[in-house]
Amino acid sequence: MTLIIIAITAIISLLGLFYYPKIIDVCIMIPYRTVRQKSWYEMITSGFVHANITHLLFNMITLFFFGPILEQVIGPVSFLTLYFSGLIFSSLPSIYRHKDNQQYATLGASGAVEAVLFGFIVLFPFESLYLFLIPVPIPAILFGVLFIGYSIYASKQEGKINHEAHIAGALWGIIYMLLFVPNTVDHVLTLLGII
């Protein structure tokens, strides 16, 4: 399922970026429009279009590295549920905050990708991660803490990146795993040496 999501997202994003810009106009989430025109589908479709190639690559590379492992552990149905509910949940802060702003728009799969990444972190908190800018491995849980901290800080600055979607997606990944994936709580408690 992960590879299918990557392929579909890449095709739609590339078509929108280079051949049919109307695709992005239709798929992008504009909270003002979403609320007033009841175009709630934008919470999903916005995850299949991206602002540029770099945006697309970052999201799809992250999904490529973490998605297949998580999918194998929790199963394809649970993985798809996590991914698509991650798109929806990560859209909620933007809808709430920008529902009266006609100029605000957001797009990209980042919220769902963060849900997958943090689902992975819940199951494999001590797995070593190698990052582009850091040449030494760091534990997944440390990366998660640093990522959330940075996203909270960055969300208070002006910019084009929707850090609130990153935070919401990450939180949803944790919540989903603990509430909806059997034995996750026991697994985490075992890893922490509590049981």
| Ordered mean pLDDT values, 10 residues apiece, the chain (195 residues) | 97 96 96 96 97 94 96 97 98 95 94 97 92 80 92 81 92 97 89 78
Tokens of 88: 């929806």
Query: What pLDDT does residue 133 have?
Result: 67
Q: What is the model's pLDDT at position 32? A: 97
The pLDDT score that the predictor gives to residue 135 is: 75
What is the pLDDT, as a whole number, of residue 193?
75
Rounded to whole angstroms, the Cα distance separating 177 from 173 reads: 6
Span 2-191 CATH architecture: Up-down Bundle (1.20)
Alpha-carbon torsion, ordered 172, 70, 9, 102, to 10 deg: 10
Residue 161 in contact with residue 154, Cβ under 8 Å? yes
**In whole angstroms, what is the distance from residue 175 CA to residue 126 CA?**
19
